[in-house]
Structure 1
């Protein structure tokens, strides 16, 4: 398996602490408060709830969506729905895309964001993470829709992973996901802080959604996940409050890092920067009970999310000052 954030058990095994602040995932540390669930959420087979789909379509502005067991399920399934193709994937970005497409005979190419436009006409599939994880790079929706039209005209796909898109809705192309060739992935794990639900949505044309549903099989999303997500997607007051809170947290993080001469990019949920000694920085923070995300290869650097409380902010500031003064 590829390396990801989280893994607090591994952190405890390596460093022997039990007071971790987990900044490694970019998940909202103030997640949606899961409600008490009705008994049938646990006892009946979890057939797709049309009310959940309607609530998701309203929230994401999409014409049609398929619930899946986290966007990871779709990432792993999509390469199986095409014959071997020329696939270009934005890089650096969420590594599971390249990992999945590399398994099924596709000809894989990694391209920087500045190279993607030129790659569209020489590819059958282009995969873009927008905003990008981990670097925070973005691509305007007008450009994405142009790429989707060019690919769709010859039976190709543009896959747009918007897992971190909730904090910048203007970037989303979910409203256009009914057009041929455009596939949009959305997640409730990041903004809603509900990664443990394993729930995401795929927007695409009807034929694609049908094929994907057939491949994933029945009962793809658990009853409890559907029940919690339905309430979260309908709770507009919580969404508005959370949007403001995350914007404030992102601004505070940028200012905190800048004060330590760290020029980071990212979203309100996470920040990333190219660190000259990322392994040493990661070990420094871990020794102080702060678990950040270490990138050793293409995106060589550090990514950190938001602390959960004021004590966490103070511990982070102290650790950064100690690193800067070493």
Structure 2
């Protein structure tokens, strides 16, 4: 596997090239859960590049997000340069206390709360919520194992956090592809914050645009701490156009369904046990995950290993039949190497 720290998140292609050779163009990067077929970009006027983004541009983007995510008018929504910025900032705005995180999951939630001085407890089920927890974090659907937490369970958990005077944080970075899981329509309820991300579903991670959907008061606190012009004009304009288009959303969803079918067929044919999946990634469980990661890297195919689960390997989506065939061929080669 990679040296410690070289591959904490997906997308570490430069580190892979440095160790296994080739150029970036030689590699098939399946290490992220980002749609490899991005939505089309709108034409942008020169003013979005040359002027500071004014309040009107931000308002248009936030209202497009409200409609796209089904958030009510009572919800406060703040735009940020990626949901990661919000994940890192939020813990510093909350009173220090005990935080329960449904784990294993996206590690930056724990990192952010620990950096802000909170006591963090990992829980395996939401039924295992510690008595003293004032903040609970659930990623839904979960990254990296695809675990789903049903809406009824989340609503009940929200009720518990409200009784405690606490906060439920639901990270819905992958929920665009599985909208039935979302509780964004409840944003504005006391004690709830929902993270949403533009980049993964639409394949536009480089735009760096994310949203927090919460109470107006907490949204205003986040907005003040982010400061003026936190999101670039191009990002706001792209977000407005993409989120306003129901046709784009439906076309992306259809394409992701095809991508996921190709991906899962390749993994099944290779005899890999599927631990969990979403339309944007699949995670397999195998005692040879480390060996498989390295063997695929030698064939310039990058996947996502996990230091805390050495038997897990996550695969993003091949963009088309050609990429799926390349992955299938590589997996077949590896299997033949193991069975001389």
TM superposition score normalised by structure 2: 0.92
Which residue pairs with 1:171 in the alignment?
181
The question of whether the paired residues in 2 share the 8 Å contact of 1:92 and 1:299 is answered with no
Quick one: distance in 2 between partners of 1:280 and 1:262?
13
Cα distance per residue 1:64-89 (max 9 Å; x no partner): 32111111011001111112111011
CA change 1:299–1:91 in 2 (3 A) is farther
Root mean square deviation of aligned Cα: 1.5
CA 94–300 in structure 1, closer or farther in 2 if over 3 Å, else same: farther
Q: Alignment partner for residue 70 of structure 2, among 41, 61, 72?
A: 61
Deviations 1:64-120 (A, max 9, x none): 3211111101100111111211101111100000011111221111111x3x22306
- Does residue 268 of the first structure (1) align with residue 284 of the second (2)? no
Unaligned runs of 5+ in 2: none
- 1:283 positional shift: 0.8
1:88 counterpart SS class? strand
Distance 1:40 1:121 in 2: 53
Counterpart pick for 1:190 among 200, 205, 212: 200
Is 1:80 aligned to residue 92 of structure 2? yes
Report deviation, 1:201: 0.7
The runs of at least 4 consecutive aligned structure 1 residues that moved more than 6 Å come to none
- Is 2:132 the partner of 1:119? no
Structure-to-structure mapping, 1:184-263, within 5 angstroms? 184-263=194-273
In 1, the alpha carbon distance for the partners of 2:110 and 2:284 equals: 22
Contact persistence 1:121–1:151 (CA under 8 A)? no
Which residue of structure 2 aligns with residue 308 of structure 1? Answer: 319
Q: Structure 1 residues 300, 9: closer, same or farther in 2, change over 3 A?
A: same
Contact 1:278-1:295 at 8 Å conserved across structures: no
- Tell me if the contact between 1:92 and 1:298 (Cα under 8 Å) persists in the aligned partners: no
SS at match of 1:271: strand
Distance, in Å, in 1 between the alignment partners of 2:258 and 2:39 is: 18
Gaps of at least 5 residues in structure 1 are none
Worse overlay, 63-72 or 162-171: 63-72
SS of 2:202's equivalent? coil
Worse overlay, 316-325 or 101-110: 316-325
Pairwise mapping of residues 35-46 of structure 1 onto structure 2 (< 5 A)?
Answer: 35-46=42-53
Matched residue count: 324
